[in-house]
Amino acid sequence: MVDEVWILRHGETEWSKSGQHTGRTDLDLTRTGEVSARSLAPRLDSVPFDLALVSPLRRARRTAELAGVRTYELDPDLVEWDYGDYEGMTRVQILETRPDWSIWKDGGPGGESPPQVTDRVDRVIKKVRSRKGRVLVIAHGHILRCFAARWIDQTVRVGDHLPLETSKLSVLGFDRGTPTIESWNS
């Protein structure tokens, strides 16, 4: 069984900076995003990983490369939540027309529902838990928050309580066999 899973949200993009929902839109990192991704290299270089999984979207791949991750597998299940009609919109814009909306309970109209995202994340967790050693996962804010919630056997709605900034690392593990969040958003 895997010992530890390090998860890393990609560096800043123009849309993450402005608060726009960035699901499948394939954006580049900003200069700030590139600098912060590079700053992770010494920390990641000091830790041996037995497997690295990366979202195929450009912002995650570029973060991996700048952070010095030389060998990784692309995993399509790690792409960000498909926001559908809400792609590119901010939460404030969405709440103007739908004041009770939450991605965690409603999903994105024309995109993915929470159960669909749960299925994707559960496939990645199954793959990760079948490995030995330490795994690195580089992906996106909402999908990683869902990953952490499912890691500790909770619904994806728990992700609402796990803010995750760009270029931040978190560590998931086990305490006597029980899945745990060891550190978050550091």
- How far from 163 is each of 127, 146, 170, CA to CA, in Å? 25, 11, 11
SS3 content of the chain, % helix, strand, coil (to 5): 40, 20, 40
Interaxial angle between packed helices 114-129 and 141-151, expressed in degrees from 0 to 180 and rounded to the nearest 10: 70
Q: Which of 12, 80, 87, 112 is catalytic?
A: 80
Work out whether the CA dihedral 116, 108, 152, 172 comes out positive or negative.
positive
Does residue 4 have an active-site annotation?
Answer: no
Among 146, 142, 106, 162, CA closest to 23: 142
**DSSP tag of 12:** P
CA distance 94 to 120: 25
CA distance 70 to 67: 9
Does residue 87 have an active-site annotation?
Answer: no
* Two structure tokens written together for 145: 């928050």
List the catalytic residues. Answer: 10, 80
